[in-house]
Amino acid sequence: MTIAITGATGKIGGAVARALAADGTPFRMVVRDAARAPELPGTEVAVATYADADAARAAFADVDVLFLVSGAEARDRLDQHRTVIRAAADAGVRHVVYTSFQGAAADATFTLGRDHFWTEQAIRDTSMAHTFLRDSFYLDFVEDLVGEDGVIRGPADDGAMAAVARADVARVATAVLREPTRHLDRTYDLTGPAAITLTQAAAVVSEVRGRPVSYHRESLEEAYASRQRWQPEPWQADAWVSTYTAIADGSLAKVSGDVERVTGRPPMTLRQVLEARGA
């Protein structure tokens, strides 16, 4: 069985690559820049982007199982996904393990969740088997929401999210890649152990970091206005704001036991993520 991993220069793909290399599992890393690929024993490196069908087909030659990490946020990300999926199918890949999003749907409140839904459909439309890892928001990102003034601002109201640690997503992906036939055509919702509000999240960050952190509820109008200083394109502004509205409407509040079912270990809490991250 030949495994290919995309995103090996990133957080999740890199963690999966290191875990498999530690096991002595051979695999191929498919990266945009070979100079940035981690140096790991027993690995091959191929260069391709999701938008380059010819390079992707060559990179996926003789690959049985592909770990497809979703591409960077971009206006054309769905087109890139469709291109790389077609290339994988043309190259003879038999099984795609894809990092999707919890509650992926054509009308998902979180606008980027719609891209994930249509990406899943593109994979289903091929003859390839699939495993969809539907990640919630990342617990690792919570601290990054805190402004310089120690305030998290957004229209999340009192909604809760069952956010998950990147490390747990990587552990699930690694387990799937070690025994892919056990996970054929399965969809896993990857969440943390509890749904937390941003008020609760702020309190945990405050306690762990030893500085005051709080949550301020914005209206939709305030949310769009406050983000204009970064001059986002409309699609990006919608994505940023819908991060919070998806929390507000309960889209991400469902807690799943899939992390523990697949890995045998309970998922990390926000406190554990912050402590592991260090100061």
For residue range 153-189, list pLDDT tens digits in order: 999 999 999 999 999 999 999 999 999 999 999 999 9
Low-confidence stretches of the chain (pLDDT < 50) are none
Backbone angles phi, psi at 78, to 5 degrees: -60, -40
Nearest to 145, CA basis, from 41, 274, 263? 274
Q: Which residue has the tokens 């002595």?
A: 24
Amino acid present at 69: V
Angle at CA 121, nearest 5°, toward 186 and 8?
70
Which of 89, 83, 91 lies closest to 51, judged by CA? 83
β-strands 43-47, 27-31 pairing: parallel
Which residue has 């839904």 as its token pair? 117
* Among the listed residues 131, 138, 186, the one whose alpha carbon sits nearest the alpha carbon of residue 162: 138
pTM of the model: 0.96
Which residue has tokens 């937390």? 196
Strands (E), 118-206: 129-135, 151-154, 160-161, 186-190, 196-197
Q: How many other C-beta atoms are found inside a 10 Å radius of the C-beta of residue 179?
A: 9
- Please tell me the predicted confidence (pLDDT) of residue 278: 81
Looking at residue 167, its pLDDT comes to 98
**What confidence score (pLDDT) does residue 79 get?**
98
Q: Locate tokens 């749904």: which residue?
A: 195
What's the residue count for the chain? 279
Q: Which residues contact 13 (CB under 8 A, 6 or more apart)?
A: 5, 6, 7, 67, 69
Quote the pLDDT of residue 279.
66
Nearest residue to 20 via CA among 41, 34, 6, 46: 41
